[in-house]
Amino acid sequence: MSAQAITARMFGVAAKIPGADILFFSPPSIPGFGVSSGFELKFLDQTGGSFNELDEQARAYMGSLMERPEIQFAQSSFSTSYPQYELVLNIPKIKEAGIHVNHVLGTIQGYIGSLYAADFSRFGKQYRVYIQALPEDRADEDDLNSLFVRNGNGEMAPITEFITLNRVYGPQAVTRFNLFNSVSINGAAAPGFSSGDAIKAVQEVNATALPNNFMVDYSGLTREEINASSQTLMIIMLSVLFVYFILAAQYESYLIPFAVLFSLPVGVMGAYLTTYFTGLEANIYFQIALVMLLGLLAKNAILIVEFAMQRRAAGYALIEAAFDGARVRLRPILMTSFAFIIGLLPLVFAGGIGAAGNRSIGTGAVGGLLVGTLIGVFVIPLLYIFFQWLQEKISSKKETEDPVNA
């Protein structure tokens, strides 16, 4: 069973448990970027208002997210209903006893929370020493009567004389993001939708259902995905530009390389169609496959154009040179392309750990190379004919012997 199937089954089991909301999610693909493989948001209070209002608005916002079909769930551990004790210091009484406030707080920290004291070495290792009361001596409120602090007269005074505990409710932890009070929201895309679809749904909800004085920012892997999405097109354009300059230097022409470059969209279209019909995502693995696919498709076009140029230089007619170059290089192109396709089939049918990434790379490359090869052998000669004719038309020069030099 796949991780998605196991997660779906566990959701079904957890739904039968009353009194509990249980969520299941996969770990992030890159450890350290968030806590789940879905999206991670920061719901920010720009006014610095109360945490109760922040909690209320965050839950209403998550309800709006859950209404979108692209989002499977959206949840947050932030809540203002955690039972707590509010520690109130009697500052005048502390000053009257000749005690510094830090001494009172330090005593509570040391016995209740722990306090780092020293280090020692043993068995070739370094160990730390912490001071802390035993668990049974700090279990309830009455145990504070056993804690003492030295007053200005050198006498030990019970710490309960200087503090008061009030039973309150509030957030377990308070976090800030970009200096604003924040609530971390984690979610996942619904089955059949990609993380990009979920992010787009979040952005649409932000435009319509986001309360005033509140904003949403992204963190973890979601932030990196949004930042990297604008770089993908730039990387592919730079790859194509790099290929163009190399071909322009090789062919000594600024037009003939377009016969190679304009054949690439056929294979790219095949990669997208194959990925779409197989139900896979156009994720980062697919984008890596696209960059690799550009080189493989360009290789086939370069072979045909190179032999067509040789035929044209030998005096062949333009159309005859193009189709003869395609005919001569047809068998090598089919052999190398299908050998590569067969070699990628284990990635297409991969299973187990990392199967999603392997399938995205394999399916995109196989589909693109198959479509690009079968259609490209017919498209590339036509492109060469057009750009070679345009080259000769503009330059008004033919590769014939100069009669003056002769």
The verdict on 165 and 180 lying in the same domain is no
**Is residue 35, in this structure, part of any structural domain at all?**
yes
**Is residue 403, in this structure, part of any structural domain at all?**
no
Tens digits of residue pLDDT in 107-124: 999 999 898 989 999 888
**Is residue 402, in this structure, part of any structural domain at all?**
no
- 134: confidence class by pLDDT, cuts 50, 70, 90: very high
**What pLDDT was estimated at residue 405?**
47
Domain CATH for 157: 3.30.2090.10
**Is residue 406, in this structure, part of any structural domain at all?**
no
Dihedral class, residue 52 (left if φ above 0, else alpha if ψ from -120 to 50, else beta): alpha
The more confident residue out of 221 and 68 is 68
The verdict on 269 and 336 lying in the same domain is yes
**What pLDDT was estimated at residue 76?**
87
Q: Is the pLDDT of residue 94 over 80?
A: yes
Domain CATH for 208: 3.30.70.1440
Tens digits of residue pLDDT in 270-291: 999 998 888 887 777 888 888 8
- 406: confidence class by pLDDT, cuts 50, 70, 90: very low
The verdict on 63 and 144 lying in the same domain is no
The verdict on 14 and 157 lying in the same domain is no
**What pLDDT was estimated at residue 180?**
92
- End-of-domain residue from the set 130, 145, 170: 170
The verdict on 284 and 385 lying in the same domain is yes
Domain count, the chain: 3
The verdict on 105 and 241 lying in the same domain is no
Share of the chain above pLDDT 70, in %: 93
The verdict on 50 and 190 lying in the same domain is yes
The verdict on 236 and 211 lying in the same domain is no
Share of the chain above pLDDT 90, in %: 21
The verdict on 363 and 378 lying in the same domain is yes
Q: Is the pLDDT of residue 129 over 90?
A: yes
Tens digits of residue pLDDT in 159-206: 989 999 999 998 888 889 988 999 998 888 887 777 778 888 898 998
Q: Is the pLDDT of residue 44 over 90?
A: yes
Domain CATH for 278: 1.20.1640.10
Q: Is the pLDDT of residue 220 over 80?
A: no
How confident is the model over 237-248, as a mean pLDDT? 85
Mean pLDDT value across the chain: 85
The verdict on 117 and 144 lying in the same domain is yes
Q: Is the pLDDT of residue 401 over 50?
A: no
The verdict on 164 and 33 lying in the same domain is no
Whole-model pTM above 0.95? Answer: no
**Domain of residue 280, residue span:** 224-395
The verdict on 135 and 258 lying in the same domain is no
